[in-house]
């Protein structure tokens, strides 16, 4: 028997929830199955505060996506024998589904309903996180760095429950954007749709570094992977675009030293050993000043985790 699932009695511990919103969304889906398309890209049954409502949503979604209809008659058999505690009496599943349909929300508001449900789910996760963190701090079960790392990881997982704020584009708008970028590249005369790597042949293969691209530099040890990555970051920074290097291997001194020697045309080995010819110092000092002026940062934190990198 599902109790306290209809929102008639306010939760004693003030858990973030919006059961009436859940009911309105489910009612809207029962009345108009096509409304599922407004929330199916981000809403899941696990987001619902009411376990029964979440199960109903998942089952309705499964039926609709299979090309069938989700109605009181088609859904009730999946929850046979279940009773729901109402305000004054227990409701059979048929009557409960009927009450959802009667109280259906507007189709135009379904996406907003879904976002409200997901946000409440994230807030519940945040509430649990805060309670667990306070308990861990009081008990001192872990040291501070580990608690902070676990906390950042937990917060990241909670944030993933929220729907994306990405801008929705139509097919026509996306095609127009592709053409606009092509025209922009043509006008620049570089043939690039993104930022230059500083290497003409590589730019010719990649078309530049475009947003959302993941580019992996792989190779055997001591083949120059770090030097190549640092050179690309430096090239991007020289164009005026801020760049960052998170190095788990080489120190910031080594990387800046390589960039400095490359820009000054001086051997990095000679620079490191202090065997620079006096005639090369003006070029080194000029290169050093230029390197200070570009928006390039290097983080050499050892054992950097994904959570730390994200923040």
The string of DSSP codes covering 60-121 is: HHHHHHTT----HHHHGGGGTT-EEE-SSSEEEHHHHHHHHHHT---GGGHHHHHHHHHHHH
220 token code pair: 């055997």
> 50-54, 185-189, 242-246: which range is least confident on average?
185-189
**pLDDT greater than 70 at residue 10:** no
Instruction: Specify the CATH number for the domain of residue 305.
Output: 3.40.50.300
Of residues 92 and 4, the one with the higher pLDDT is 92
What average pLDDT does this structure show over 165-174? 67
What average pLDDT does this structure show over 269-290? 80
Q: What's the total number of domains in the chain?
A: 2
Q: What is the pLDDT of residue 308?
A: 63
Does residue 159 sit within a domain? yes
> Contact 227/258 with Cβ under 8 angstroms?
yes
Does residue 201 sit within a domain? no
* 62 and 135 part of one domain: yes
Q: Which domain holds residue 264?
A: 216-310
* Residue that is last in its domain, among 143, 165, 187: 165
* 4 and 83 part of one domain: yes
Q: Round to whole Å and give the CA distance between 260 and 287.
A: 6
Q: What is the pLDDT of residue 169?
A: 65
Q: pLDDT class for 307, splitting at 50, 70, 90?
A: low
* Through-space distance between the first and last CA atoms of the chain, rounded to whole angstroms: 44
Residue whose entry in the numeric block shows the structure tokens 């001086």: 266
Q: What is the pLDDT of residue 43?
A: 92
Rg (CA), the chain: 29
* 17 and 109 part of one domain: yes
Mean of all residue pLDDT scores within the chain:
82
Q: Round to whole Å and give the CA distance between 77 and 75.
A: 6
* 229 and 158 part of one domain: no
* Residue that is last in its domain, among 100, 132, 165: 165
* 5 and 129 part of one domain: yes
* 106 and 230 part of one domain: no
* 135 and 261 part of one domain: no
* 22 and 145 part of one domain: yes
Does residue 177 sit within a domain? no
* 154 and 221 part of one domain: no
Q: Which residues contact residue 254 at a Cβ distance below 8 angstroms, ignoring those fewer than 6 apart?
A: none
- pLDDT tens digit sequence for 199-247: 888 888 888 888 778 888 888 887 888 888 888 988 888 888 898 888 8
* 235 and 159 part of one domain: no
**pLDDT greater than 90 at residue 160:** no
* 158 and 222 part of one domain: no
Does residue 33 sit within a domain? yes
Q: Which residues contact residue 270 at a Cβ distance below 8 angstroms, ignoring those fewer than 6 apart?
A: 261, 276
Q: State the alpha helices, DSSP H only, in the chain.
A: 19-31, 51-65, 72-75, 93-102, 110-139, 144-159, 171-188, 200-206, 225-238, 252-264, 268-273, 281-293, 306-310
Does residue 236 sit within a domain? yes
Does residue 64 sit within a domain? yes
**pLDDT greater than 80 at residue 32:** yes
> Contact 158/129 with Cβ under 8 angstroms?
yes
Does residue 52 sit within a domain? yes
Q: Round to whole Å and give the CA distance between 208 and 197.
A: 6
* 123 and 7 part of one domain: yes
Does residue 54 sit within a domain? yes
Q: Round to whole Å and give the CA distance between 60 and 69.
A: 8
**pLDDT greater than 80 at residue 51:** yes
* Residue that is last in its domain, among 130, 147, 165: 165
Instruction: Specify the CATH number for the domain of residue 145.
Output: 1.10.860.10
């Amino acid at each position: 028997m599902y109790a306290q699932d209809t929102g008639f009695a306010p939760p004693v511990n003030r858990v973030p929830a919006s059961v009436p919103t859940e009911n309105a969304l489910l009612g809207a889906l029962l009345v108009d199955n096509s409304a599922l398309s407004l929330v199916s890209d981000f809403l899941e049954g696990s987001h619902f505060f009411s376990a029964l409502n979440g199960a109903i949503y998942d089952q309705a979604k499964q039926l609709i996506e299979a090309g069938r209809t989700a109605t009181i008659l088609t859904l009730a058999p999946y929850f046979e024998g279940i009773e729901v505690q109402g305000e004054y009496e227990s409701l059979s599943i048929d009557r409960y589904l009927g009450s959802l349909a009667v109280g259906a929300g507007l189709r135009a508001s379904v996406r907003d309903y879904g976002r409200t449900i997901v946000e409440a789910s994230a807030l519940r996760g945040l509430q649990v996180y805060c309670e667990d963190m306070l308990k861990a701090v009081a008990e001192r079960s872990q040291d501070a760095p580990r608690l902070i790392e676990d906390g950042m990881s937990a917060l990241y997982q909670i944030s993933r429950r929220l729907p994306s704020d990405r801008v929705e584009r139509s097919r026509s708008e996306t095609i127009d954007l592709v053409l606009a970028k092509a025209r922009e590249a043509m006008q620049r005369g570089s043939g690039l749709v993104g930022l230059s790597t500083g290497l003409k042949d590589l730019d010719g293969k990649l078309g530049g570094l475009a947003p959302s691209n993941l580019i992996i530099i792989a190779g055997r040890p001591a083949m120059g992977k770090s030097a190549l990555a640092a050179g690309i970051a430096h090239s991007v920074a020289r164009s005026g675009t801020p760049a960052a290097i998170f190095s788990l291997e080489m120190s910031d001194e080594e990387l800046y030293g390589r960039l400095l020697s490359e820009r000054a045309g001086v051997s990095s080995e000679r620079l490191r050993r202090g065997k620079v010819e006096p005639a090369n110092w003006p070029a080194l000092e000029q290169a050093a000043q230029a390197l200070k002026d570009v928006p390039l940062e290097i983080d050499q934190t050892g054992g950097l985790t994904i959570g730390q990198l994200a923040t």
